Amino acid sequence: MISILILAGLIWWGGQFLGMSSVIRQSLLCVLYVAILAVHLTLPPTAALRVNLGGSALPWLAAGAVAVVIYLYAHVLRRLKKKAEGRTMSETPKKKGAFNATELNRYARHIVLREIGGAGQKKLKAAKVLVIGAGGLGAPALQYLAAAGVGTIGVIDDDEVENANLQRQVIHRDEDIGTPKVFSAQAAMEAQNPFVTVRPYHRRLTEDIAAELFAEYDLILDGTDNFETRYLANRVAVELGKPLISGALTQWEGQISLFDPTQSGPCYQCIFPEAPAPGLAPACAEAGVIAPLPGVVGAMMGVEALKLITGAGETLRGAMLIYDALYAETRRISLKPRVDCPICQGKGAD
């Protein structure tokens, strides 16, 4: 009996030492067990070999049954453990708005903010924001929207990256020269945060697509540098009841406001009824702009977007913030809806 146990031990641990797989060692033990049962079933009770093996097959049958139960139990445990280890957070079904472990760690600085918290971060994950322009203002706004975890970000722009853009449009790189800005921005945003969805639209915002495009988003950010697109974006945003965050730059000065007539605020055309005469408001290419200024104002646009989505603090609805970088001054002025506005008809007026 003891010799059999020693033999079984040699098969199992000796085989392991020799590099045998567990399947081979288990097979050898099964052969040994079947041989022992065969001895008990074929030899007479008085046979020396049968006596040395216990004289009866019952203890061996009982031991075999116990071994089978233990094996099955261990097999089930291994399967469960393997399944549990193999199911990563990203693979397990999640409730809508739930975060995996990586996202929770990534957004921890938001979640500990009293004004945002977990509920606010869920709102960001569920939000859809469209950014018009992937240039000076769009670049920082897009980067921070992606980094902050805004779930779906659209970006529309028909330009390609040029060498002159790289002085201030920090989302693009030298190797992106000649690439459509929306695709360059998409690559940078997805590299920054793979948990967001980026929708690039490589085309100019025009009348025939604006309404359909805006309808897919909760919030519009206008970072364009021409009045034609600004007035179009404002008109469509008002028609669809979408809040519009607008920024503008020139040389050392930037301005930003939130236009939302549905919430008692003016629209863009309430404040700027007509485009200025040619030459009075030259674009950055003509007038110049200090490199970090688009980053400052574009980041402010991102802040206003996050506040609006999460409900944190006070937004620039009905106000305009003007930043003078040359003299390090900021001014905030109140804006009122205009009753005779041809776009919103003063909907936000008291």
Predicted confidence band of residue 179 (pLDDT cuts 50, 70, 90): very high
Residues 147 and 193: beta-carbon distance below 8 Å? yes
What share of the chain in percent tops pLDDT 90? 64
Looking at the fold, whether 67 and 132 belong to one and the same domain comes out as no
Give the pLDDT mean for 94-117. Answer: 87
Are residue 243 and residue 324 in the same domain, yes or no?
yes
Is 28 part of a structural domain of the chain? Answer: yes
State whether 151 and 70 are in the same domain: no
Mean pLDDT in residue range 256-268: 94
Residue 274 belongs to a domain with what CATH number? 3.40.50.720
Q: What φ, ψ does residue 199 adopt, rounded to 5°?
A: -115, 105
- Is residue 111, in this structure, part of any structural domain at all? no
Last residue of a domain, one of 61, 86, 111: 86
Residue 74 and residue 139 share a domain: no
My answer on whether 71 and 156 are in the same domain is no
Residues 36 and 136 grouped into a single domain: no
Summarize the confidence of residues 174-179 as an average pLDDT.
96
User: 206 with 109: CB under 8 angstroms?
Assistant: no
Q: Based on the fold, state whether residues 241 and 328 are members of the same structural domain.
A: yes
Residue 175 and residue 314 in one domain: yes
Cα 222 to Cα 133: distance, rounded to the nearest angstrom? 7
Half-sphere exposure of 151 (CA within 13 A, CB side): 16
Inform me whether the pLDDT recorded for 91 exceeds 60: no
Average pLDDT over residues 62-80: 73
Binning pLDDT at 50, 70 and 90, where does residue 65 land?
confident
Q: Parallel, antiparallel, or unpaired for β 253-259 and 319-324?
A: antiparallel
Residue 205's Cβ-side half-sphere holds a number of Cα atoms within 13 Å equal to: 34
CA 329 to chain centre: 35
Q: Do 143 and 212 belong to one domain?
A: yes
**Per the domain annotation, does 201 fall within a domain?**
yes
Domain tally, the chain: 2
More confident residue, 57 or 338: 338
Q: Is 228 within 8 Å of 204 (Cβ atoms)?
A: no
In a domain, 107, yes or no: no
For position 47, what pLDDT does the model report? 73
**Is 304 found in the same domain as 157?**
yes
Do the beta carbons of residue 90 and residue 115 sit within 8 Å? no
Q: Is the pLDDT of residue 254 over 90?
A: yes
pLDDT at 20: 66
DSSP 67-107: HHHHHHHHHHHHHHHHHHHH--TTTS---TT---HHHHHHT
- In a shared domain, residues 61 and 155: no
Q: Which domain holds residue 54?
A: 2-86
Going by pLDDT thresholds of 50, 70 and 90, the confidence category of residue 12 is low
Spatial separation of the C-alpha atoms in residues 5 and 161, rounded to whole Å: 77
In a domain, 266, yes or no: yes
209 and 61, same domain (yes or no): no
Stated pTM of the model = 0.71
